[in-house]
Homo-oligomer: A and B are copies of this chain.
């Protein structure tokens, strides 16, 4: 089993729609990032930090500063995909999310990763140092991947 599936994960599912595909007959690569973000939004709502409210309230911002994906197998129109969402890393001001996309009988078809960094909202004056709220850190930690085994 792939080690990015160690530890607990939040499960999000979707079916590949016609609009996800391109004339080459498979998922257009950038659509994987859209689905990763949908999984991230579902995850954040699940742990009690829904993005719509965070953006509207604007107390702090968690912009995505980096994204990457690896495509391991063809993803086709109609495929039922399961996304396992995990927290890959966490520091005082940032965290990264890992997404494992599987199809059928747990065949991994893609991996993705996004990095989010806390920044002060431009309209707010925040005297305190910029650190991820304690409640968010605790919620994220529950889905954190174990550190890689050293052997």
Contact = CB atoms under 8 A, between A and B. Distances in A.
A33 to B, nearest CB: 4
A8 interface: no
A66 B114 CA distance: 14
Given A17-B41, A69-B66, A78-B53, A34 B30 contact: yes
Contact of A23 (B37, B55, B72): B55
Interface in A32-76: 33-34, 37-38, 41-42, 50-53, 55-56, 61, 63-72, 76
A22 B24 contact: no
Among A29, A61, A69, A70, find the residue whose CB has the most chain B CB atoms closer than 10 A.
A29
Contact of A21 (B15, B17, B22, B30): B22
A95 B146 CA distance: 34
At the interface, is chain A mostly helix, strand, loop or mixed?
A: mixed
A143 interface: no
A25 interface: yes
Contact of A29 (B23, B33, B71): B33
B25 A19 contact: no
Given A52-B76, A55-B77, A78-B50, A63 B18 contact: no
19 contacts: A15-B42, A17-B34, A17-B38, A18-B55, A19-B30, A19-B34, A19-B38, A21-B22, A22-B23, A22-B77, A23-B52, A24-B63, A28-B37, A30-B33, A51-B77, A52-B77, A65-B70, A66-B71, A68-B69
